Amino acid sequence: MKFTINFSANLTAFLLSVFLSVWMTPFIVKTLGVEAFGFVNLTQNVINYFSIITVALSSVVVRFFSVAAHRGEQEKANAYISNYLAASVLISLLLLLPLMSAAFFIDRVMNVPQDLLADVRLSILIGSLLFLLTFLMAGFGAAPFYANKLYITSSIQAVQMLIRVLCVLALFACFTPKIWQIQLAALAGAVIASILSFHFFRKLIPWFSFKLKDLSFRVSKELFQAGTWNSVNQIGVLLFLQIDLLTANLVLGASEAGKYAAIIQFPLLLRSLAGTVASLFAPVITSYYSKGDMDGLVKYANQAVRLNGLLLALPAALLGGLAGPFLTIWLGSSFSSVAPLLYIHAGYLAVSLAFMPLFYIWTAFNQQKTPALVTLLLGAVNVVLAVTLSGPAHLGLYGITLAGAISLVLKNVIFTPLYVSRITGYKKHVFFTGMFGPVFAALFAWAVCEAIQLCITIESWTSLIAAGAAVSCCYAVFAFMLVCTKEERQMVLKRFRKTKGAVNI
């Protein structure tokens, strides 16, 4: 029941983010221009490089707190949060100078037109405050995770998105539109989200209190040591996710980077959806580990991979199968020529993102050294391939996309299930079995997309939405009848009857 509520809230937040991206991106591109739009994401990418430092704490505090709290060790859990808060304040103060330096010297590390330089610098400064605020508040995310009430986190994210959009509209209407106003709007949303996060933390964890006596070098050292490999992993993650735009800027120029920044949003949203859905399984995985139930953990993780794959297969197939008409309707006919980029993104993401729930197994086991080193290595491979294929090989944006596809498949589809099977002590093939159904379902949905385009011409939002709805219905029937197990079909029907009965009453 909790999973259903959490998933519904996360799906709602995701659909809201999709709607806002579809609506806001053409507005911002037309207002600021394609070249300037590219720096909206690029400036945030520069700031995110500093997460290499902060992730050492923020990535492990939720895990340590939850394990201690599940075991009834409230004093220990209290100490973890207290030490995190103190350390995060100190680290934030130390990061102010390098963040300001990044803003001042930004024109020395990327191609920035002179007329945009001041706006880009101010955008980085405001974005730095947003980054530090997010870091400071990360510890309060432990409460919804521990209580398995992740719908609270999703609801806060939805409020944050709405405030950001409203602030962008207000700033653009009242002042001359600038890049930095988008970061200022995001900061306003983050402030409100922080207030809400603190409120729910106090409500869900009423026994927590910040005490100076809980501050301990030993506890802080424990968190830092556990998070060290997460910092190494974060370097790899940044090389995977946030090097493509910089590569496009440096190798292909600001204009190509701006075009890529526009179309990459939906692959990034799909990655975000995958991460959000995968996180729904994390509290139960952590709980199984805390109780020492390895058979239950492995069985649940297999189900998580399978369900995650089914949930992601449909949006991935829609993204790839309807890429051409979608880009034409959304951003104009000039973008239809880059639709094959979305074909590539949709294809490899449909397979590779399904395995993301397994990340929480090595987090629960606190076995993060090997994944961190592999992520770093493959992140470096991604950079080398992206530069080589986009530049010397003359593949342009396609080279950058292919580099990401190769690297992520190696990491998620091959390494992840094999490594998790090793640390759990189970057979190597055990975590691969859940992927066959989702892959067939994705291929089916993509084929339906192509069949619809052979029958009708999609040239408006109405026809695009209708096509998407038709594909979704066909996918639902296919998945229910041919992919879901008998037990899963019975469970769905039981919940449907219960919902129908409640409505009739």
Structure confidence at residue 502 (pLDDT): 46
Under a CB-based contact definition with an 8 Å cutoff, are residues 239 and 178 in contact? no
Q: How far is 413 from 403, CA to CA, in rounded Å?
A: 15
Under a CB-based contact definition with an 8 Å cutoff, are residues 155 and 215 in contact? no
Structure confidence at residue 4 (pLDDT): 66
On whether the pTM is more than 0.85, the answer is no
For 448, the token pair is: 């339906």
Give CA separation, 420 vs 359, 412, 415, in Å.
8, 11, 9
Amino acid present at 147: A
Q: How far is 418 from 374, CA to CA, in rounded Å?
A: 12
Structure confidence at residue 344 (pLDDT): 92
Buried b (16+ CB within 10 A) or exposed e, 365-402: eebbeebbebbbbbbebbbebbbebbbeeebbbbbbbb
- Calculate the CA 263 to chain-centre distance: 16
For residue 146, the tally of other CB atoms under 10 A from its CB is: 21
Under a CB-based contact definition with an 8 Å cutoff, are residues 16 and 155 in contact? no
Structure confidence at residue 10 (pLDDT): 65
**pLDDT digits 0-9 by tens, 440-474:** 899 999 999 999 999 888 888 899 999 999 999 99
For residue 505, the tally of other CB atoms under 10 A from its CB is: 5
Structure confidence at residue 505 (pLDDT): 47
Name the DSSP letter for residue 178: -
**pLDDT digits 0-9 by tens, 319-370:** 999 998 988 888 888 778 888 999 999 999 988 888 988 888 887 787 878 8
Closest to 304 in 3D by CA, of 351, 354, 348, 254: 354
Q: Which residues of the chain have pLDDT under 50?
A: 502-505
Note the residue count of the chain: 505
Query: What radius of gyration do the chain's Cα atoms show?
Result: 23
For 115, the token pair is: 């007329």
Structure confidence at residue 504 (pLDDT): 47
Burial of 498 by CB count in 10 Å (0-12 exposed, 13-18 middle, 19+ buried)? Answer: exposed
- What is 419-453 written as a DSSP string? HHHHHHT--TTTTTGGGHHHHHHHHHHHHHHHHHH
Burial of 23 by CB count in 10 Å (0-12 exposed, 13-18 middle, 19+ buried)? Answer: exposed
Angular region, 332: left φ>0, alpha ψ -120 to 50, beta rest: left
Structure confidence at residue 503 (pLDDT): 42
Structure confidence at residue 495 (pLDDT): 64
Under a CB-based contact definition with an 8 Å cutoff, are residues 311 and 320 in contact? no
